[in-house]
Chain A
Amino acid sequence: MALFDALLELADDHLVLGHRVSEWCGYAPMLEEDLAMPNMALDVIGTARSLYDYAGKVEGTGRDEDDLAYLRGEREYRNLLLVERPNEDFAHTMLRQLYFAAFMHPYWTAALTSQDETIQGIAGKAVKEMAYHIRHAGEWVVRLGDGTEESARRMADAVQSLSIYVGELFEEGAAEEVDVLPSRAAVRDEWLATVQRVFDEAGLTFEDSKFPQTGGRSGIHGEGLGHMLAEMQSVHRAHPGATW
């Protein structure tokens, strides 16, 4: 079951982040960004679907992607605390995206040589998407960090408030016993190099938090996740198995 649990952790990360980013749909400050954000949301939701689908097959009890996404409660979700953080403002949203993509890009790159063909396939598609998310979110972080007085203040606030969620990215979690998935801890150097490169240009400083928050991998979440899941799951729970 270690592989099932590890796939679920990854899938939950992608679905929760995808739903958060999708909350911007219709609210982005300009049309161009209103297309870019749902594009990014759909990228990670697409990856989540592949991972849930595979997890369901690995589990072998007949649960499909919808069962796994819509019929588990908050305590059963295994996502990182970082990805469930509320959107707040553009600075928080883009920094969260940069942190996640800067992690997933080297992670999926390592997974390209996995012995597991399904994981290889998922990684092959995701690696290009994550490279784009790093670029898109990174450009915004630079412009906000090195922009007006207000944008710089908001960006610095985002760095401050998200810093405690960074450490959890590199926790091995359920994947520790699974040799077809890459090590999370091994990704740290590359993550830091990507973030450092963006921060240098943005005039921001990255500092590791002395008091990192963890718990997402064991189902201990912030209060925002329950609200988010309630909304995300409401249609499926009201109309089980509905399609359109």
Chain B
Amino acid sequence: MSGEVPLWEVFIRPRNGLAHKHVGSLHATDEVMALQAARDVYTRRGEGNSIWVVASSAITASDPDQAGENFEPGEKIYRHPTFYEIPDEVGHM
């Protein structure tokens, strides 16, 4: 049956003020049932106070074959913000 049922990605916010974080995925026939299932599968032990579900098909993902050009910046150390003098008055940033 699971073959016909769409996949959903589940995001949980552990508490107010934090961001929703991806926790896993599940199968459900529609968004309402996906929320129900997410409650049962991922929040049984008080893991959070808010759930998002997103159809997995709605997610556009990067191509693993492009990992080189995407994620290996090489020797571009100037991209790290370590070349600035921070005035003492600023304190800790």
Contact = CB atoms under 8 A, between A and B. Distances in A.
A44 B44 CA distance: 16
Chain B interface category by residue count: 10 to 19
B36 A30 contact: no
A184 interface: no
Contacts of A143: 29, 33
Contacts of B2: 30-31
Contacts of B27: 30-32
A39 B40 contact: yes
B56 to A, nearest CB: 14
Q: Which range contains the number of A residues in contact with the other chain?
A: 10 to 19
Nearest to A35: B40
B5 interface: yes
B37 interface: yes
Interface string B26-42: 11110011001101110
Interface in A78-119: none
5 contacts: A29-B1, A32-B27, A32-B37, A139-B32, A139-B33
Interface of A: 29-33, 35-36, 39, 132, 135-136, 139, 143
Interface of B: 1-2, 5, 26-29, 32-33, 36-37, 39-41, 44
